Structure 1
Amino acid sequence: MHIVLGATGHVGSAVAETLLGDGENVTVVTRDEGKSKHWKDKGAQIAIADVHDVETLRTVLQGGKRLFLLNPPALPDTDTVAEERKSMLSIVSALAGSGIEKIVALSTYGAQAGDGIGDLGVLFEMEQELAKINIPTTVVRAAYYMSNWDGFLESAQKDGQIFTLYPADFKLPMVSPENIGQFAAQLLKEPIEKTGLYHIEGPAQYSPGEVAEAFSKVLGKEVETIVIPREEWVSALTNMGFSQKAGESMAAMTAVTLDEKYETTGERVKGETTINDYITQLVRTSG
């Protein structure tokens, strides 16, 4: 039995969909019972649990052998680092005595030690915590999600604009959540003793300007890139609904990427989805 955390999100749903399509037994963990019918109809088992409830989560984990671990993102109006560290430590605690035999954990490009750098710091801590326990673990560090552009579909359609903290011509590795999920599902089916560190990105690197061009092409109208200057990052984020701490963490995390202060050790994997493919599908799906 494969257990999937985060199956109601982009990546986790792709993991579950891929495993089910391969005829595997899957338990989807969710805290929202209202979202369970979709997965029941697809043949998955459902477990209702909050990741902060260590004992309940451990009981759920005892029903499976392999786990896809995705630390749930915190709401942006909270202290995201504190909330995500809390959920990560709860999940790790629940693994003790769970009987899980193999873990595939989702991390991020640029994961590194440090406070106040958002996911980069929390997910690096997660990697370190998992290394301490006696369960074979494969870590997948994913590039910038193409789905981060989903929120700009409306402004692209209505105003012909997308917004970015990066320079319009700054190219960075991006990857579709579906490609991440498909790859993680493959890793879950590998022999227990086979582990490793992987980096996954798309077939090429893309700039915000190229994202705007992709929107322009599929929408049939000009879409421009509005670049937010570095000195305005935090204020812009708080105006968008981020808490002060979350805005500062996001700004610091963006700076790490922009200044390229990270390494990509381990094996690098290329997904097939291009940014044009992704934006085209996003617009079509939105109707």
Structure 2
Amino acid sequence: MYTIIGASGKTGSILSKQLLNAGKKVRVIGRDEKTLKGLLDLGAEAAVIRDNSDPKLSKALSGSKVVYVLIPNFLPESDDFRAFQNEQVDHIVNAIKNAVDIENLVVLSSWGAENERGVGPVEGLHYLEQQINANFSGKVKSIVYLRVGNFMENLDPIIKEFVGGNGVVSDPTLPEIHIPFISTRDIGVHAARVMLDIDSYKGINIKEIQGAEDLTMLQVTEILSKHYNRPNASYIVISLEQLESRLLKFNFTPSSIQLMKDVYIALNNGTFKFHEKRSKSNSTDITFKQYLVDFDKLNSN
């Protein structure tokens, strides 16, 4: 059995479909049966777990050849998102402890997760890795951490502002900083490859997934300019104070704003980095140009 936590999410849904298409028995875990229906129609078994503290999560994880582990994505309205992350990690670790016959763990993480401090919400993924190692190293056959680059989906607000505005991209990232952007679809595809090949992994493994390309925000702006025929497009570096003013308009809490500031500081000073040289094995397929084509289709209405 291949068990997917967060199966209705952007990576989990793609991963689940890949495994089902490969003929595997898949158990999908989500908060709402309606969001899992498409996967059920493809042959998956569902477990509706509305909260990671639910004791039923342990039963849903039991008997798994592999469990795909992830924690909730960033919640800007949270008064203390870091505390929330740690709480979610503790719930999931407890559920795995109380489950029986789990053979392997594949864990969604991020570049920068080797850092305990100064990387914003990625600190929660550092905590996740540390807790998984402390509790399950030597107790399962393998643990594989998927350290992925920046989600292309994080650029969606910038794309919408660019299209609806005057062709300006504004962001605190310095223009010379290269960022490894990756689509969540590619994450799901590569996670499936790892899970289907799980017998080749032993012990603790860190697998970098760097996306299709490294881009500066200047290059992002150039691609947007050509794609949307805005020849006079420009990129403006804004201050962290300007970022704060912008995020307040979107109901970010003070603690969430500080986490985002930490992310940009870490990006600009080089704290966020991959340690492997880019190669065919750690790269993916979907470029930002291709992503924009899909973005336009999804937002055509």
TM-score by length of 1: 0.91
Distance in 1, matches of 2:245 and 2:118, equals 16
Contact persistence 2:74–2:121 (CA under 8 A): no
1:129 to 2:144 alignment: no
Contact persistence 2:17–2:39 (CA under 8 A): no
- Give the letter for the 1:182 counterpart: V
Residues matched between the structures, number: 287
- Superposed, 1:1-287 pairs within 5 Å as 1-78=1-78, 79-98=80-99, 99-115=101-117, 117-132=119-134, 133=136, 134-135=139-140, 136-159=142-165, 160-192=167-199, 194-195=201-202, 196-222=205-231, 223-265=233-275, 269-287=282-300
Contact persistence 2:181–2:215 (CA under 8 A): yes
SS of 2:252's partner is: coil
**What are the superposed Cα offsets for residues 120-155 of structure 1, whole Å, 9 maximum, x if unpaired?**
211111111111212221011001111111233332
- Give the letter for the 1:225 counterpart: Y
Classify 1:233/1:154 alpha carbon distance in 2 versus 1 (closer, same or farther; 3 Å): closer
- Give the letter for the 2:68 counterpart: F
Classify 1:67/1:216 alpha carbon distance in 2 versus 1 (closer, same or farther; 3 Å): same
Contact persistence 2:149–2:182 (CA under 8 A): yes
Deviates more, 1:11-20 or 1:116-125: 116-125
What is the deviation of 1:262? Answer: 4.4
What is the deviation of 1:47? Answer: 1.1
Contact persistence 1:152–1:162 (CA under 8 A): yes
Classify 1:148/1:262 alpha carbon distance in 2 versus 1 (closer, same or farther; 3 Å): closer
Contact persistence 1:3–1:29 (CA under 8 A): yes
- Give the letter for the 2:216 counterpart: S
SS of 1:92's partner is: helix
Cα RMSD over matched residues?
A: 2.2
Contact persistence 1:27–1:44 (CA under 8 A): yes
Give identity over the alignment, percent: 25
Distance in 2, matches of 1:7 and 1:253, equals 27
Contact persistence 1:77–1:241 (CA under 8 A): yes
Distance in 2, matches of 1:93 and 1:267, equals 36
Distance in 1, matches of 2:124 and 2:285, equals 28
**What are the superposed Cα offsets for residues 46-92 of structure 1, whole Å, 9 maximum, x if unpaired?**
21003432411111111532111111124211021111111111111
What is the deviation of 1:21? Answer: 2.0
What is the deviation of 1:168? Answer: 3.9
The answer for unaligned runs of 5 or more in structure 1 is none
What is the deviation of 1:277? Answer: 1.2
What is the deviation of 1:116? Answer: 6.3
Deviates more, 1:93-102 or 1:207-216: 207-216
Deviates more, 1:162-171 or 1:259-268: 259-268
Classify 1:124/1:75 alpha carbon distance in 2 versus 1 (closer, same or farther; 3 Å): same
What is the deviation of 1:9? Answer: 2.2
SS of 1:123's partner is: helix
Distance in 2, matches of 1:194 and 1:123, equals 21
Distance in 1, matches of 2:84 and 2:152, equals 24
TM-score by length of 2: 0.87
Classify 1:253/1:20 alpha carbon distance in 2 versus 1 (closer, same or farther; 3 Å): same
What is the deviation of 1:162? Answer: 3.7
What is the deviation of 1:169? Answer: 4.4
Contact persistence 2:70–2:107 (CA under 8 A): yes
Distance in 2, matches of 1:189 and 1:138, equals 12
Contact persistence 2:173–2:267 (CA under 8 A): no
